[in-house]
Structure 1
Amino acid sequence: MGRQLQLRVATPEDLDWIHELRHRVYAEELHQHAPDPSGRLQDGLDGDNVYLVAAREADRIGFVSLTPPWLGRYALDKYLSRDELPLLNDEAVFEVRILTVEPRWRATAAAPLLMYAALRWIVSRGGRRVVAMGRTELLDMYLAAGLRPVGHTVRSGAVSFEVLTADVAELTEAAAGRHRGTLRRLAARVDWRLDMAFLTSPDGCEHGGASFTAIGTDFRRLQRRAQVVAADVLDAWFPPAPGVRAALTQDPDWAVRTSPPADAEGLVAEIAAARALPPETLAVGAGSSDLIFRAFGRWLTPDSRVLLTDPTYGEYAHVTERVIGCRVDRFPLRRADGWRIDVDRLSAAIRAGRYDFVVVVNPNNPTGRHVPAADLYSAVAAAPERTRWWIDEAYLGYVGLTESLAGAATTDPRVVVCSSLSKMYALSGARAAFLVANPATVRDLRRWTPPWPVSLPAQLAAVAALRDPAHYRDCWRRTHALRRDLASALAGLDGSLNVEEGVANFLNVTLPSGGPSAAEWVRECRRHGVFLRDLSPLTPAYQGRTVRVAVRDTAENARIVAACWTAWHDLRGPAVPAVAGVSVAGPAR
């Protein structure tokens, strides 16, 4: 074990060796640069880029450099203009460069492992495309890895390079497919010290819910749930309405063994009554993901042009890009704008892009921002007739149901509204959701819906929940107070933490640059039974530093604050913050 190949982010002690090795290889061996009397080779990106290092005990073996998009500049800018290489304007493109290995280690697995580590680091920061310069004589190695030339050759000193690019999802799929067995064997032999998992998830879609792995997915030790704060998923902190418990406990044996109404007619009627919608405009499913997969698979093809806001709920990118293979563009939301959707800018983007399908989550997850219904519908009205809109209103109750576009969806064939009953009605375990569309759209979708799409316990629970709106209005109101208190306590841990609230049942915390990453903070909190969501894989806009925290009840929020302080203390140093009204003692270590 002591001779394992170690992969890590470069430490300050590594930098002198990196500069010395660069000089030996690129100045003395390849004559790309003139020799420097210092015997060291640096460039203008040093200090901003990220170096990953391969080592074996005290022996440093090789390194690779990564330049993230948030720097706003790349090494390639020295050779080509943005007009010549417009892909550098993509807000999710990462540059991989100067993959360098000590001469005596070049016949080993060091170079492929450094390339794989670079890919995993880019995936963990939301990268969607890579760009690189590959030495012409090594082009076959880069082609075998999945990179493709873009048609530009650049020359630096005595060395010529091909400009290469690749889609990150395709590289990940290839690694998980062709090389999965090899990677699994290497996982036990590599000392992986990076802040992301060595292997990607099987389907490539990042979800929350890691908290359930601490409880046990085999359900043998459910008592562990009391030891875990599941703030990495957005399940309700409050219980469902009393009528839900009554409906499920009245005759649980019957509810479990009995087939439900095949088309959930009673649930459809209850939704129609509760939301004042015609029943023929409603389709139901076992959660919003069921409806997303069913509807998108019916309406979209690989030729469909789709626009997603960025960041947004990751399931949409997964389904459109990886499952269906649509041509997907992103409408970037920016921290400087408070993550709000500028509807005028959105309308202009839709007109320019000629999109078939636009997805808007409102309020948005994970930003927590809401677009007023009137403003959003103005963008719908201004869009081309051919553009269909999918409006996800999973968290609308926290704003007010009067802000729904469901009424417009019943008559406007361009609009579909999806509404989960899971999050707002404390029914995540039951899985129930509905969509609203014009009758013709609903009739078509129902033809492609299998019988019994929602279980009988879920139908019973959902109907009982919809019959008690007062219970939920009070819970939603109390959620806002809990969120404000949690935000205040987290902001009080350290003045360098940026806490952003939004309007729903969660908030985001961004860590300062130069300190621990979001992944490291999340990992430390898990040691204390508190699970948070690292948002980094969703988008480069978070720069690997933003964590989403679900609002829980008062006691669990106190545990969140305590774990966050302890993690911050362990990662940053011994300074103890004073947080008014909140205990930061944390659980016993």
Structure 2
Amino acid sequence: MQVRNATPEDRTWIHELRHRVYAEELDQHPVNADGVLVDALDGRNVYLVAADADGPVGFVSLTPPWAGSFGLDKYLSREELPLLDEPDVFEVRILTVEPGRRSAGVATLLMYAAMRWIAGRAGRTIVAMGRDDLLDLYRGVGLVPTGRVITSGTVRFEVMTASVADLTALALGPFASLVQQWRDEVDWQVDTPFAPRADGCEHGGASFGAIGTDFRTLERRREVVVADVLDAWFPPSPHAQAALTEDVAWMTRSSPPTDAGGLLDAIAEARCLPVESLAVGAGSSDLVFRAFGHWLTRESRVLLVDPGYGEYAHVTERVIGCQVDRFRLRHAEGWRLDTERLAEAVGDGAYDLVVVVNPNNPTGRHAPAAELRAAVEASPAGTRWWVDEAYVGYVGLHESLAPFAATDPRLVVCTSMSKMYALSGVRAAYLVAEPTVAATMRRLTPPWQLGLPAQLAAVAALREVDHYPPLWQRTHDLREALVADLAVLDGVEVESSVANFVCLRLPADGPSATRFVEQCRQDDVYVRDLSPLSPSYEGRTVRIAVREEAENARIVAACLRAMEVLRPSVRAGAS
């Protein structure tokens, strides 16, 4: 069995099967002489098709929120079904299987494919019209009735819904053996990964798989362009490199300082911060998991900026199970963070935690520190803010809110040393908070949390204050040259940033981001599909890390080739 995005030939068959089932079999529509039934949403729907050796046997239709309207709009107003106004709701429609194949599990496979496609575009909620005779199928795959009933022709439907997170949990849990069977037997040609990661989080870093995660083929690192994670293009400072290589035998066999006291002192000195306001971690993810796990419960309410760094949604929604809302940034506004609108959203004290990445990853935009500070100062005493400043050096360390965080218990600032100091591999980060908050975090930190290589390299990097700023400036130059070179891509919007990456928004009639990324990998160029981070990206936005000149040239060449290869198939309707 193959599952694929519909081809032009599939669409002809879909229109014919739709007529046979919904006009001739179910009397939902009048029979017509052409023997085809089209849909008003055909130009905006996505169709997934199941086929065997004899041809297609079933299909399902998906309507994304950016289509502008849903099939359900014909039957219910938004007041009657308010969830249709949510920007991350996707409609599953017209699940149809050839009469002779209706007991073969085809419908269940198509529902799984629909869920994966929607999850791949950051959908959070699925809504569907469940035909009376198919309600057991819909319930069996995790959908539940909303209480709304629709009649079309002689057919009765129940409006059903489910969260994508719940459906993903079913795929990873009770349905895991069936999903594994499909993995072994199904030829998966859908433009989204077949299965979710085991941890449920969509990370970048697929490039290391190309290099070799068993570390047997590390020479591949010289062949693969790693632009899907935002590691620095430049090496660590000379003193940081020396700290890691001077006495490797001693460093690898020696236990590090238990509480990383020397690193805490170095951070305090370099940033002019009181040492009692600091806590360190093995990368920012370590700090996020520890802090959020301590502060939050399933009853906590959290506000995330969307689009935003995916780890925060993963921890709050999937690990802890908080009640999470999104503060939506808008492409039409250049992804600008409106801090006044944010302050208004937070002002009623409903949120236990507000998370802001500034400069933002993946939009690349920066909100001035003074504006963001004003929003924090206007917020209720019970609302905690977490501001991630992993990329703040690119706009200037004077834009950091760390000094304010050291005095205000509402604010915690987290800073990774990975991106700005070229230390991604050793995992070092720190947070700044009012001393009592920081003390709690230090208490929650296991002994020897940071290995000796991380402590040595981070201290050396912080002490070389004049080494990194010129490299940050060089990053700006490389980024703008990359933007200019990518501007030749036909129909592609190139979005620059203040940091070490750019984004490509592919044309609506172009390839999906997933297909584009897959094609670039044919040239050993790895870029990041942003589709799983936000439905605002509409499945057609790619993020590219800035590299040095030669690798940037390879990135541009791979992007040009991807558009040349994929555009003909898109025009034919196969993508």
What TM-score do the two structures reach when normalised by structure 2?
0.97
**Where do 1:380-391 residues align within 5 Å?**
380-391=376-387
Instruction: Give the match for residue 573 of structure 2.
Output: none
Deviation at 1:571, TM superposition (A): 1.5
Instruction: Give the match for residue 530 of structure 1.
Output: 525
> 1:197 and 2:173 equivalent?
no
Structure 1: stretches of 5+ with no match in the other structure: 575-589
Question: Quick one: distance in 1 between partners of 2:466 and 2:35?
Answer: 74
> 1:364 and 2:360 equivalent?
yes
Question: Quick one: distance in 2 between partners of 1:57 and 1:512?
Answer: 34
> 1:570 and 2:570 equivalent?
no
Deviation at 1:502, TM superposition (A): 1.2
Structure 1, 266-275 or 194-203: larger mean CA deviation? 194-203
SS where residue 125 of structure 1 aligns?
Answer: coil
Deviation at 1:304, TM superposition (A): 0.4
Amino acid corresponding to residue 540 of structure 1 in structure 2? P
Deviation at 1:38, TM superposition (A): 2.4
Question: Quick one: distance in 2 between partners of 1:192 and 1:138?
Answer: 25
Question: Quick one: distance in 2 between partners of 1:43 and 1:221?
Answer: 51
Instruction: Give the match for residue 157 of structure 2.
Output: 161
Structure 1, 433-442 or 443-452: larger mean CA deviation? 443-452
Question: Quick one: distance in 2 between partners of 1:228 and 1:290?
Answer: 28
Instruction: Give the match for residue 235 of structure 2.
Output: 239
Question: Quick one: distance in 1 between partners of 2:110 and 2:485?
Answer: 40
Question: Quick one: distance in 1 between partners of 2:510 and 2:217?
Answer: 37
Instruction: Give the match for residue 335 of structure 1.
Output: 331
- 1:409 is matched with which residue: 390, 405, 411? 405
SS where residue 24 of structure 1 aligns?
Answer: helix
Deviation at 1:188, TM superposition (A): 2.4
Deviation at 1:493, TM superposition (A): 3.1
Deviations 1:66-85 (A, max 9, x none): 00001121011111111111
Structure 1, 466-475 or 347-356: larger mean CA deviation? 347-356
**Where do 1:533-552 residues align within 5 Å?**
533-552=528-547
Deviation at 1:353, TM superposition (A): 7.0
Instruction: Give the match for residue 392 of structure 2.
Output: 396
Question: Quick one: distance in 2 between partners of 1:87 and 1:26?
Answer: 27
Deviation at 1:250, TM superposition (A): 1.8
Instruction: Give the match for residue 269 of structure 1.
Output: 265
Deviations 1:171-218 (A, max 9, x none): 011012112222222222212111222121111101111110111111
Deviation at 1:16, TM superposition (A): 2.1
Report how many residues are paired. 569
Question: Quick one: distance in 2 between partners of 1:434 and 1:538?
Answer: 25
Instruction: Give the match for residue 308 of structure 2.
Output: 312
Structure 1, 532-541 or 31-40: larger mean CA deviation? 31-40
Amino acid corresponding to residue 507 of structure 1 in structure 2? V
Instruction: Give the match for residue 219 of structure 1.
Output: 215
Deviations 1:512-563 (A, max 9, x none): 1122111111111111111000000111111111000000011111111111
Question: Quick one: distance in 2 between partners of 1:526 and 1:352?
Answer: 47
Question: Quick one: distance in 2 between partners of 1:391 and 1:176?
Answer: 32
Fraction of identical pairs, as percent: 64
SS where residue 481 of structure 1 aligns?
Answer: helix
SS where residue 181 of structure 1 aligns?
Answer: helix
Question: Quick one: distance in 2 between partners of 1:182 and 1:384?
Answer: 48
Amino acid corresponding to residue 324 of structure 2 in structure 1? V
Structure 1, 179-188 or 167-176: larger mean CA deviation? 179-188
Instruction: Give the match for residue 207 of structure 1.
Output: 203
Question: Quick one: distance in 2 between partners of 1:452 and 1:75?
Answer: 57
Deviations 1:481-508 (A, max 9, x none): 00000011011232x1110011000000
> 1:553 and 2:555 equivalent?
no
Instruction: Give the match for residue 323 of structure 1.
Output: 319
| Structure 2 contact 348–380 (Cα < 8 Å) conserved | no
Instruction: Give the match for residue 281 of structure 1.
Output: 277
Deviation at 1:41, TM superposition (A): 1.5
Deviation at 1:58, TM superposition (A): 4.2
Question: Quick one: distance in 1 between partners of 2:89 and 2:16?
Answer: 28
Question: Quick one: distance in 2 between partners of 1:330 and 1:573?
Answer: 37
Deviations 1:388-422 (A, max 9, x none): 00000000000000000001111111000000001
Amino acid corresponding to residue 505 of structure 1 in structure 2? N
Deviation at 1:123, TM superposition (A): 0.9
Instruction: Give the match for residue 373 of structure 1.
Output: 369
Amino acid corresponding to residue 232 of structure 2 in structure 1? A
Question: Quick one: distance in 2 between partners of 1:488 and 1:88?
Answer: 39
> 1:504 and 2:535 equivalent?
no
Deviation at 1:433, TM superposition (A): 0.2
Question: Quick one: distance in 2 between partners of 1:541 and 1:217?
Answer: 32
| Structure 2 contact 108–137 (Cα < 8 Å) conserved | no
Deviation at 1:57, TM superposition (A): 2.9
Instruction: Give the match for residue 258 of structure 1.
Output: 254
SS where residue 403 of structure 2 aligns?
Answer: helix
Instruction: Give the match for residue 61 of structure 1.
Output: 57
Deviations 1:350-393 (A, max 9, x none): 23571111000000000000000000011112222211000000
Deviation at 1:91, TM superposition (A): 0.3
Question: Quick one: distance in 1 between partners of 2:198 and 2:324?
Answer: 22
Amino acid corresponding to residue 182 of structure 1 in structure 2? L
- 2:462 is matched with which residue: 451, 459, 466? 466
Question: Quick one: distance in 2 between partners of 1:275 and 1:521?
Answer: 42
SS where residue 423 of structure 1 aligns?
Answer: helix
- 2:109 is matched with which residue: 108, 113, 133? 113
Instruction: Give the match for residue 432 of structure 2.
Output: 436
> 1:514 and 2:509 equivalent?
yes
Give the 3 Å change call, closer, same or farther, for CA 289–274 of structure 1 in structure 2. Answer: same
Question: Quick one: distance in 2 between partners of 1:90 and 1:353?
Answer: 22
> 1:130 and 2:152 equivalent?
no
Question: Quick one: distance in 1 between partners of 2:349 and 2:78?
Answer: 20
Instruction: Give the match for residue 5 of structure 2.
Output: 9
Deviation at 1:109, TM superposition (A): 1.8
Question: Quick one: distance in 2 between partners of 1:231 and 1:287?
Answer: 20
Structure 2: stretches of 5+ with no match in the other structure: 570-575
> 1:182 and 2:184 equivalent?
no
Question: Quick one: distance in 2 between partners of 1:303 and 1:183?
Answer: 32
Deviation at 1:245, TM superposition (A): 1.2
| Structure 2 contact 349–380 (Cα < 8 Å) conserved | no
Deviation at 1:9, TM superposition (A): 1.1
- 2:441 is matched with which residue: 442, 445, 459? 445
Amino acid corresponding to residue 352 of structure 2 in structure 1? D
Question: Quick one: distance in 2 between partners of 1:313 and 1:492?
Answer: 28
> 1:100 and 2:96 equivalent?
yes
Deviation at 1:136, TM superposition (A): 2.1
| Structure 2 contact 349–382 (Cα < 8 Å) conserved | no
